[in-house]
Amino acid sequence: MADPMHQFQIQKIVELPTVTVPGLGAIDLSITNSVFAMLLAATLIIVFYAAAARKAVVPGRLQTVGEMLYGLVDGLAESIIGHDGKKFLPFVFTLFAFVLFMNLQGMFLVFTATSQLAVTLTLGIMVILTVVGVGFAKNGIKFFKLFAPSGVPWPLYFLLVPIEILSFLIRPITLGLRLFGNMLGGHVVLKIFAGFVVALGGLGVLGWAGAALALSSVIALTALEFMVAFLQAFVFAVLTCVYLNDVVHLDSH
Amino acid sequence: MATENHGTVESTEAPGHESGGLPQLQFQHWGGQIVWLLLIFAVLYVVLSKGLLPRVSGAIDERGAKIAGDIADARRLKDEAEAQARAAAAEVAEARAKAQKTAADAKAKASAEAAERQAKEEAVLAEKLAAAEASITTARDEAMSHVRTVAEETAGAIVEKLTGKAASAAELKAALA
């Protein structure tokens, strides 16, 4: 049976020189299958929106889908962050579209960039650094109020502040791990069940029944994975909005 | 059956890997992915936020404005049509009143003329009647006066025949009075 983890192996497509950054070590800038998947996703988003962003008053199919996705994120930012949501919409939308396209690409091609921990963790850290940046830019030193919610008897702060700090610091990790875990798990399970079909198919008549069962599972799981691909991108966008809202509306925190 | 197969999967898994763990944890590949990711994300963000998303939101806003404008136009036209309908109804009512007035005037004028004509005719007739009556009266008076002379003559003739002598006019007149 094929190795279910082999699909996650990084492979070089175009060799590029390794750059040595002082303090960080050697960074291999070769275009790997992961980098290619990210490039392809970004290119597809740009091509898609270049075609979908039209001025037509009565939209065609492409424009309808494009505006629907935009409207989805717009509604999300508006409902979670409120009026200030418009400012963060491009950032949230870029995250959403990028993650969604990488997830969906994994359903059609052999490699899923969002199943790489390096990618999802970087995205998570990027979100949190943005949140911290926005928090400081908007509230200055009051940003630290985030860790000390008001309306609590003061002795509780000894317990509450460390918990709040910990929960804040763990956010990029949960953000990255959630997406990574969902993509990894889904694709592993798909691969294993698909492997069953081949393995059981070779075992004779009884095996065929098992193979048919495994095949129907693969079909059902594929449908599920499409949903997960969309849902995880959506969750990523929702959580980004929630974290941004925390620092945008720090006074009401 | 599934668990059995799962077991074989796990057992064949190990030799496939150089490092033995998840391929995602081969940290020599992290640097390149992170650098490329940041680069690609930055480019994507700039292209979307500066170029494409404003076009999308512009189209959505334009559509909303157009729909709102069209609805406002339609409402305005409806109001206008209603106002025109009201004006037309008022005009019709006015025209009807005018027509009724004209008809009434014509009727009054006609009846006045008719009454005048009738009065004139009646006057003429009355005049004729009076003239006729006058002529009748004169004719009768004349006749009555003739009757007296005839009576006198007759009485004279009768007296002459009976008495053989003619009575005087004064005697006859006294006898007939």
Mean pLDDT for B131-149 is: 89
All residues of chain A having their beta carbon less than 8 Å from the beta carbon of residue B23 are: 5-6, 8-10
Euclidean distance between CA atoms B91 and A35, whole angstroms:
79
- Cβ neighbours around A217 below 10 Å, total: 19
Euclidean distance between CA atoms B129 and B140, whole angstroms:
16
Task: Give the burial class of B27: count Cβ atoms within 10 A of its Cβ; 0-12 exposed, 13-18 middle, 19 or more buried.
Answer: exposed
Q: Cα–Cα distances in Å, from A188 out to A48, A115, A119, A181, B22?
A: 29, 10, 18, 10, 12
Domain ranges of chain B: 32-176
Who among A29, A66, A118 is closest to B30 (CB)? Answer: A118
Who among A1, A28, A117 is closest to B8 (CB)? Answer: A1
Label residue B4 by pLDDT band (50, 70, 90).
very low
Label residue B13 by pLDDT band (50, 70, 90).
very low
CB A111 within 8 A of CB A13: no
Beta strands in A128-238 (DSSP E): none
* 0.90 surpassed by complex ipTM: no
Question: Which residues of A, range 15-54, sit inside 8 Å of B by Cβ?
Answer: 24-32, 34-35, 38-39, 42, 45-46, 49-50, 52-54
pLDDT tens digits along A164-218: 999 999 999 999 999 999 999 999 999 999 988 888 888 888 888 888 999 999 9
pLDDT tens digits along A106-157: 999 888 999 999 999 999 999 999 999 999 998 888 888 888 888 888 888 8
Residue A168: what pLDDT? 92
Task: Give the burial class of B108: count Cβ atoms within 10 A of its Cβ; 0-12 exposed, 13-18 middle, 19 or more buried.
Answer: exposed
Q: Is B3 on the interface with A (CB under 8 A)?
A: no
All residues of chain B having their beta carbon less than 8 Å from the beta carbon of residue A25 are: 31
Euclidean distance between CA atoms B77 and B88, whole angstroms:
16
**Three-class DSSP category at A211:** helix
Place of tokens 């008022």: B90
- Single pTM value for the model: 0.73
Closest-CA residue in chain B for A49?
B52
